C-alpha cells in the first residue's frame, strides 16, 4: 500500500456551517439550523469554529466554501438543494472541488414516484435534485424531495443538507449515529437540561447559582447555562468526557442537587415540553382533560394535541370568547358573569366545571383573561388571567398577572394552565407558585 | 494631482457582516445584530452579500476578514472590542491590513474619566480600548466604553463596532446619517413580497418563472427569490433604484403580472399572515366565524385569536376529538358518522353547520382528519383532512391529502381552512386548488 492510498483516519475535530439562501440575509429571518448543528456537533466532540450565511450566488457560495476548507475538517452546507434556478449549492461545490455532478437514474425514479403518490407529474426542474457529486454518497431525506450528499476529500468531509429544519434535523441525527460518529474522536459532550416553571430567571439564578458554581472546580467540570425560553426557564448542564458512564453519573448527581433546591417547579428533566409531560401523566393515570378557553383561544388544546397519541387523553373543549358562548357552550350562569365580570375566579371555576360536565372528562380547565393589547382596566390590566382546574378529588383556581405581547400572554396562560393540571396530578396543586 | 492621491469615490454597494464571539457559536445564542444591520444597509442601498460568525480566535477572525475584503466594499465587524484577553478584533484587523494600532492619549483620558464618574479607577487592561488603527477614525459610543472605528482602504471601508445591541444600534444609526450616507450611492433597495397558498413550490416556480425571468433584462432589473415557508410559498421581489416613485411603480407592475399568473392563490402582498388577512376581510364585511375542529385541536381558532382585535369577529368554537363530542358539542348526527366515518366530507359539513347554528356565527368551519402519526388506513391515510365552510349564501367542502409531521399537518389544515374562508369571502370559493 502506498502513501497515496492510505486512508486518512484523523478524527474530525473542527467544523464550519455555511447556510445558503438570500432570504437569510434580510432583516426578518435568522439561520436557526446552526443552533441545532452546533449542539449535535458538540455532542460528537467536534468544535464549531465559524458559521456563515451566503446568498444564492454561486460565486459567493464558492468563495466561502474555499475559505472554510482552508480552516476546518468538516464543512456542513445547508440549503440551496431545491429544484429551482436559485438553488446553486450543488454547482458551487462541484466547481470548488473540481468534481462533476452525475444524475442518478434511481434518484430520478424515486423523485418521480414521490410526485406520483400525490397524483402529480414531476416538473422537469426537479431532475436537478438527482445530481450527486461523482464519488459522493447520497444521504437519504425521509422528509423531503432534496437528498443530501456527503463527500470526502483527504481527511475532510463536505456535507450538503437541505435547509428546511425538519428535513435537516432527521438527516443529521442519523448521520451523527453513523458516518459522523465513525469519523469523530473519543471525547463526547454530555448534557442534561432542567425546565422550570413558576419562577423568574433571576429567582432561578439565585437558588441555583450556589449549587452549580461548585461544579466548575470538580474534574471534569460541569458548565451550567441559564436561559429564559417562552414559558420556561432552562438550566443546561454540560460535561466533556471520554467515559460515558462516569459522565452520566456526575450529571445525575448534579441534577438531583438542583431538584432538591428548586422542588416541583422543575417540570421536565429530559427535554420534554409541558404538553408532553402533562400528556404522559394523564395517560399513566388513565385520565382525560377538557378545557373551556377564552383568552387563549384554543391554544392550550392545540398544544396538548400537538403530541402524538393525545387523542387518548384530550377529550376536547370549547373556545368561548363572548359571554353568550360562555353560557351556551360551557354552561356558565350569566348572573355569575354579571356580578364578577367575565375575567374572574368564579367564572374560571364555572368554565372548568361546565366543560368537565359537558364532556365527561376527568379534569376540566377554565381560562379567562385579558390578552391585550386593548381591553385592560386599572383593576384588571392586560395580562390578568384567571385559571381554574377541577378534578375528581380537588379543585384549584388562581389569578396570574402576566406581561408581554398578546401571543406571549396566550402562551404563558396555556403554560400555567397545564402546570396547574400537572401539579394536581402530582398531588401538589396547593404549593403552586403564582 | 497624481493618480495615487485621487480619491476613490465609488459608492459602497456591497457589504459583509462579521460577528465575533465564541458565545455566538453555541446552541443557544444567535447573532441578532445582523438583522438590524441588514435593514439599515438596505435602506442605504447597500446589499448584504454574506454574514459570518467567528469565535475569539485571531487567526479565524483574520481569515474571515481577508475573504470578505476580496468580495465586498464594506465590512462591518461587531464584537471583540472589549478590554479582555479574548477581545481580539483590533489585533486581527491590524494584522490583515498591515496597519499598526496607536494608543490615543485623549481616548485613555476619556475612559479614565468614565470610570472616575462611577467612583472607580480604570483597570489597566482597559487601555487596549484606546487603540485605534493608524489613519482610522474614532466612532463615538454614547452607551459604552468600547469606541468603534472606521478605516478606509481605497474604495473599501472597514467598520469596527461593539457587540452589545444597544451600543451598536446607536452608533450605526448615527453613521447611516453621516459617514455611510456620504459613501453610499443615491440608489436604494425597494422590496415587495407575495404569499401564495394552494400550490407547491415547484408549481409556483413553473408559473412564475416565465414572468419574473423577463424582469432581469429590464432596467433596472428586478430580482426574484422563491421561498417555501410553513403554510405558504413566498415570492420576494427586490429592485435597486435612485428613483423611489419609479421603483414603486415598477414593483407594482411586476406584482400585478404575478397576480395575473397566480390568481387568487396569492393571498397576501404586504407581509400579513393568513390569520391577519382573513381577520381583516371578516372585519370589513362585519361577519363572524366559528369552528368545530377535530384533528387541528383548536389551532385554527388559536391562530385567528393571535391577531389583536380578533374578538370582534371570532365567535368561538369547539374542539371535538371523540365521536361523542362531535355529536354533543357540535350536533353531528351519529348515523352520519356511522355511515361515512368521522373523517368524511358529510361529517365536515355537519360540523360546520352545527357550530354555525350553535354559536350564531356568520361562517361555520368544520375540520376533521388524521394528523398522525398513527390512525391512518389504506383508504384514508395519515394526512387525509376534510374541511367544510358554511356561510350565509354558500358552502364548500374539500378533502386534502397532506404530508409531514403531526404539527405540520395541523398547521396546513388550519391554513387551508382559513384559505377556504378567505375564498368564500372573496366570492371565489369554487376555484380553490386542493
DSSP string, A44-108: TT-EEEEEEEE-S-HHHHHHHHHHHHHH-SEEEEES--SSSTT--HHHHHHHHHT--EEE-HHHH
Residues B48-66: tens digit of each pLDDT: 999 999 999 999 999 999 9
Q: Which of A35, A56, A84, A315 to mutate to test the interface with B (most CBs of B within 10 A)?
A: A84
Average pLDDT, chain B: 91
Of B308, B321, B359, the CB nearest to A311: B321
pLDDT at B123: 84
The answer to whether A297 contacts B293, with C-beta atoms less than 8 Å apart, is no
What are the grid coordinates assigned to A189, written together?
Answer: 459532550
The answer to whether A410 contacts B306, with C-beta atoms less than 8 Å apart, is yes
Residues of B in contact with A60 (CB under 8 A): 49-50, 71
Judge contact between B313 and B351, C-beta under 8 A: no
Percentage with pLDDT > 90 across chain B? 71
Nearest CA in chain B to A414: B302
Judge contact between B263 and B431, C-beta under 8 A: yes
Residue B429 pLDDT grade (very low, low, confident, very high; cuts 50, 70, 90)? very low
Judge contact between B78 and B18, C-beta under 8 A: yes
Indicate if the pLDDT at residue A433 is higher than 50: no
- A53 to chain B, any CB pair closer than 8 A? The answer is yes
CATH class given for the domain over B276-431: alpha beta
* Average pLDDT of the residues in A388-395: 96
- A55 to chain B, any CB pair closer than 8 A? The answer is yes
Residue B4 pLDDT grade (very low, low, confident, very high; cuts 50, 70, 90)? very low
Of B26, B301, B359, the CB nearest to A297: B301
C-alpha distance from B22 to closest chain A C-alpha (Å) = 8
CA distance linking residue A61 with residue A91, whole number of Å: 10
By CB atoms closer than 10 A (0-12, 13-18, 19+), residue A3 is exposed
Residue A189 pLDDT grade (very low, low, confident, very high; cuts 50, 70, 90)? confident
The answer to whether A30 contacts B25, with C-beta atoms less than 8 Å apart, is no
Residues A394-418: tens digit of each pLDDT: 999 999 999 888 999 999 999 999 9
C-alpha distance from B11 to closest chain A C-alpha (Å) = 21
Number of neighbouring beta carbons within 10 Å of residue A120? 13
The answer to whether A297 contacts B305, with C-beta atoms less than 8 Å apart, is yes
- Residue A261 falls in which region: left (phi positive, over 0), alpha (psi -120 to 50) or beta: alpha
Residues of B in contact with A48 (CB under 8 A): 25
Total length of chain A: 434
CA B373 remoteness from chain centre? 30
- A358 to chain B, any CB pair closer than 8 A? The answer is yes
* Average pLDDT of the residues in A77-86: 91
- A64 to chain B, any CB pair closer than 8 A? The answer is yes
CATH class given for the domain over A188-268: alpha beta
SS3 B75: strand
Span of A77-81, A392-396, B229-233, B394-398 with lowest mean pLDDT? B229-233
Q: Which of residues 97-126 of A touch B (CB under 8 A)?
A: 118-120, 123, 125-126
Residues of A in contact with B227 (CB under 8 A): 21, 23
User: Domain spanning B3-183 has what CATH number?
Assistant: 3.40.980.10
Domain with CATH 3.40.980.10 in chain A: 3-183
pTM of this structure:
0.78
Of A71, A299, A308, the CB nearest to B406: A308
What is the number of alpha carbons within 13 Å of residue B12 lying toward its C-beta?
29
Residues of A in contact with B309 (CB under 8 A): 374
Of B52, B206, B298, the CB nearest to A298: B298
What is the number of alpha carbons within 13 Å of residue A88 lying toward its C-beta?
19
pLDDT at B7: 54
Burial A122-155 (b: 16+ CB within 10 A, else e): bbebbebbbbbbeebeebebebbbbbbbbbeeee
pLDDT at A298: 97
The set of long-range contacts for B238-242, using a CB threshold of 8 Å and a minimum separation of 24, is B238/B189, B238/B190, B238/B191, B239/B189, B239/B190, B239/B191, B240/B45, B240/B47, B240/B187, B240/B188, B240/B189, B240/B190, B241/B187, B241/B188, B241/B190, B242/B185, B242/B186, B242/B187, B242/B188
* Average pLDDT of the residues in B316-345: 96
* Average pLDDT of the residues in A99-128: 90
- B321 to chain A, any CB pair closer than 8 A? The answer is yes
Percentage with pLDDT > 70 across chain A? 96
pLDDT at B431: 41
Residues A222-259: tens digit of each pLDDT: 988 887 788 899 998 988 888 989 999 999 999 999 99
Judge contact between B12 and B73, C-beta under 8 A: yes
pLDDT at B9: 63
Span of A53-67, A159-173, A342-356, A417-431 with lowest mean pLDDT? A417-431
Residue A348 pLDDT grade (very low, low, confident, very high; cuts 50, 70, 90)? very high
Judge contact between B361 and B376, C-beta under 8 A: no
pLDDT at B8: 58
Q: Which of residues 212-241 of B touch A (CB under 8 A)?
A: 225-228, 234, 236
pLDDT at A7: 53
Domain with CATH 3.90.950.20 in chain A: 274-431
The answer to whether B319 contacts A318, with C-beta atoms less than 8 Å apart, is yes
CA torsion through residues A177, A178, A184, A185, sign = positive
Of A54, A324, A371, the CB nearest to B50: A54
Indicate if the pLDDT at residue B6 is higher than 60: no
Indicate if the pLDDT at residue B3 is higher than 50: no
What is the number of alpha carbons within 13 Å of residue A182 lying toward its C-beta?
8
pLDDT at A9: 62
- B359 to chain A, any CB pair closer than 8 A? The answer is yes
The answer to whether B49 contacts A56, with C-beta atoms less than 8 Å apart, is no
What is the number of alpha carbons within 13 Å of residue B207 lying toward its C-beta?
17
Indicate if the pLDDT at residue A200 is higher than 90: no
Span of A390-394, B103-107, B120-124 with lowest mean pLDDT? B120-124
B182: nearest Cα among B311, B7, B301, B29: B7
* Average pLDDT of the residues in A10-19: 92
Of A299, A318, A410, the CB nearest to B316: A318
Residues of B in contact with A325 (CB under 8 A): 315-316, 359
C-alpha distance from A53 to closest chain B C-alpha (Å) = 5
Residues B356-388: tens digit of each pLDDT: 999 999 999 999 999 989 889 999 999 999 999
* Average pLDDT of the residues in B237-245: 89
Indicate if the pLDDT at residue B432 is higher than 60: no
Residues of B in contact with A53 (CB under 8 A): 50-52
Residue B284 pLDDT grade (very low, low, confident, very high; cuts 50, 70, 90)? very high
C-alpha distance from B81 to closest chain A C-alpha (Å) = 18
Q: Which fold has domain A274-431?
A: Maf protein (3.90.950)
B358: nearest Cα among A315, A357, A322, A336: A322
DSSP B5: G
pLDDT at A225: 80
pLDDT at A8: 57
The answer to whether B329 contacts A118, with C-beta atoms less than 8 Å apart, is no
Indicate if the pLDDT at residue A3 is higher than 60: no
Choice between B429 and B36, residue whose per-residue pLDDT is larger: B36
- B317 to chain A, any CB pair closer than 8 A? The answer is yes
Alpha helices per DSSP H over B44-159: 58-71, 89-97, 105-117
3-state secondary structure B327-365: HHHHCCCHHHHHHHCCCCHHHHHHHHHHHHHHHCCCEEE
Indicate if the pLDDT at residue A434 is higher than 70: no
pLDDT at B1: 38
pLDDT at A230: 83
- A51 to chain B, any CB pair closer than 8 A? The answer is yes
C-alpha distance from A55 to closest chain B C-alpha (Å) = 6
Domain with CATH 3.90.950.20 in chain B: 276-431
* Average pLDDT of the residues in B73-90: 91
The answer to whether B296 contacts A302, with C-beta atoms less than 8 Å apart, is yes
Residues A41-54: tens digit of each pLDDT: 988 889 899 999 99
Beta bridge partners of A369: A385
Judge contact between B421 and B389, C-beta under 8 A: yes
Sorted by sequence, the CB contacts under 8 Å of residue A294 that are 6+ apart come out as A319, A320, A321, A326, A342, A351, A367, A368, A369
Domain with CATH 3.30.70.600 in chain B: 188-268
Total length of chain B: 434
pLDDT at B428: 59
Residue B290 pLDDT grade (very low, low, confident, very high; cuts 50, 70, 90)? very high
Amino acid at each position: 500500500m502506498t502513501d497515496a492510498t492510505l486512508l486518512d483516519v484523523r478524527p474530525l475535530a473542527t467544523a464550519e456551517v455555511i447556510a445558503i439562501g438570500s432570504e437569510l440575509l434580510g432583516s426578518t429571518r435568522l439561520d436557526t439550523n446552526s443552533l441545532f448543528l452546533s449542539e449535535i456537533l458538540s455532542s460528537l466532540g467536534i468544535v464549531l469554529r465559524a458559521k456563515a450565511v451566503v446568498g444564492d450566488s454561486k460565486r459567493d457560495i464558492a468563495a466561502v466554501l474555499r475559505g472554510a476548507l482552508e480552516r476546518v475538517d468538516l464543512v456542513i452546507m445547508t440549503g440551496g438543494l431545491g429544484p429551482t434556478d436559485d438553488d446553486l449549492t450543488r454547482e458551487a461545490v462541484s466547481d470548488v472541488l473540481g468534481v462533476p455532478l452525475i444524475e442518478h437514474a434511481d434518484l430520478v425514479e424515486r423523485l418521480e414516484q414521490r410526485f406520483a403518490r400525490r397524483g402529480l407529474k414531476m416538473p422537469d426542474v426537479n431532475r436537478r435534485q438527482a445530481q450527486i457529486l461523482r464519488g459522493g454518497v447520497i444521504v437519504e431525506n425521509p422528509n423531503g424531495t432534496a437528498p443530501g450528499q456527503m463527500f470526502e476529500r483527504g481527511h475532510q468531509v463536505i456535507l450538503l443538507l437541505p435547509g428546511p429544519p425538519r428535513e435537516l434535523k432527521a438527516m443529521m441525527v442519523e448521520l451523527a449515529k453513523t458516518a459522523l460518529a465513525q469519523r469523530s474522536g473519543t471525547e463526547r459532550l454530555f448534557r442534561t437540561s432542567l425546565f422550570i416553571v413558576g419562577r423568574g430567571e433571576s429567582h432561578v439564578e439565585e437558588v441555583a447559582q450556589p449549587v452549580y458554581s461548585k461544579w466548575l472546580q470538580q474534574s471534569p467540570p460541569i458548565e451550567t447555562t441559564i436561559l429564559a425560553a417562552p414559558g420556561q426557564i432552562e438550566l443546561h448542564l454540560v460535561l466533556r468526557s471520554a467515559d460515558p458512564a462516569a459522565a452520566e453519573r456526575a450529571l445525575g448527581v448534579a441534577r438531583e442537587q438542583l431538584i432538591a433546591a428548586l422542588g416541583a417547579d422543575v417540570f421536565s428533566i429530559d427535554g420534554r415540553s409541558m404538553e408532553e409531560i402533562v400528556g404522559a401523566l394523564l395517560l399513566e393515570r388513565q385520565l382525560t382533560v377538557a378545557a373551556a378557553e377564552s383568552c387563549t383561544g384554543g391554544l392550550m388544546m392545540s398544544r396538548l394535541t400537538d403530541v402524538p397519541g393525545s387523542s387518548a387523553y384530550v377529550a376536547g373543549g370549547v373556545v368561548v370568547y363572548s359571554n353568550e358562548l360562555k353560557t351556551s357552550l360551557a354552561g356558565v350562569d350569566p348572573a355569575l358573569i354579571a356580578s364578577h365580570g367575565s375575567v374572574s375566579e368564579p367564572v374560571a371555576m364555572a368554565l372548568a366545571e361546565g366543560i368537565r360536565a359537558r364532556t365527561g372528562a376527568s379534569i376540566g380547565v377554565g381560562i379567562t383573561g385579558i390578552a391585550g393589547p386593548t381591553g385592560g382596566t386599572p383593576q384588571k390590566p392586560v395580562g390578568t388571567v384567571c385559571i381554574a382546574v377541577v378534578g375528581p378529588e380537588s379543585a384549584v383556581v388562581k389569578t396570574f398577572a402576566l406581561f408581554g405581547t398578546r401571543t406571549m400572554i396566550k402562551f404563558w396562560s396555556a403554560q400555567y394552565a397545564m402546570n396547574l393540571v400537572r401539579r394536581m396530578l402530582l398531588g401538589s396543586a396547593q404549593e403552586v407558585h403564582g
